[in-house]
Amino acid sequence: MAKKHFVQKYLCFGKDLTLATRLIAFVGMIISAVLVTVLLNDLSAKNFDTSRKIAASLGLDWRHFHPRASAGTNLDPKGKMITSVVVVYALLFFLINVTLLLAAILEKPTLAIPWLTCEFVGCLSKLVALVIHFVAEVNKFDRVFVVGSCIYILVMSWFWAVVYSSQSTWSKSNRSLKLATPNATTTEFNSILLNSPEVYHANSLYASI
């Protein structure tokens, strides 16, 4: 309980954890929908500058993992690879935020697992790419990529802590609800005894012996 109050006070500004999770999911859905719309327009116009800027600002420049998955123009002049990466990322981001919104509405802890897993992997990959950028490219400092990656990691770590704490409270409340719910068999048996028109005699079966 103390942990819940701590998270509500310092991470949610005193707001309810479930409400904060719903807001996180709703904001994520809006951002991903805008990204998909912009990227589809980018693809139809065959102008990949927008995709490069979005990839750099979100820290999605994954040239360290694949040479052509670069937000720059040297390794992928046409920009098809990085555009595909950003489109897939935006669609996946939209789906997991829809799942998170359902989890917050229904208070189902298992529905929040995809969001927690994907965001953890995303932050980890961006952190690795950031470290590789500092180590492998000492003489080439990409300010947009570094700032975008740092902001993304900090914000998503904050969101992750809120969603994880909210998921924990749902699990505890569900367990408490199960413990508080009486056994169905016992309830039915007691109802039969209470509604029976005949007086119950403990030794009636053995009266003739």
pLDDT in tens, 9-22: 556 655 688 888 99
From the list 155, 142, 156, the residue with the least C-alpha distance to 64 is: 142
Q: Does 166 fall in a domain?
A: yes
CA distance 178 to 174: 6
Q: Is 53 exposed, middle or buried (0-12, 13-18, 19+ CB in 10 A)?
A: middle
- DSSP string for residues in 26-56: HHHHHHHHHHHHHHHHHHHHT--HHHHHHHH
Please report whether residue 120 resides in a domain.
Answer: yes
Alpha helix segments (H runs only) across the chain: 2-10, 17-45, 49-57, 80-106, 113-136, 143-180, 184-195
| Count of residues in the chain | 209
Domain range spanning residue 144? 2-181
CB within 8 A of 174, min separation 6: which ones? 107, 109
Asked if residue 204 is part of any domain, the answer here is no
Q: What is the pLDDT of residue 67?
A: 47
Query: Is 192 among the domain residues?
Result: no
pLDDT at 184: 47
Q: How many domains does the chain have?
A: 1
Longest CA–CA separation in the chain, Å:
102
Highest average pLDDT, of 86-100, 104-118, 190-204, comes from 104-118
Identify the residue with better confidence: 8 or 148: 148
Task: Output the CA angle 164-170-174, nearest 5 degrees.
Answer: 150
pTM of the model: 0.68
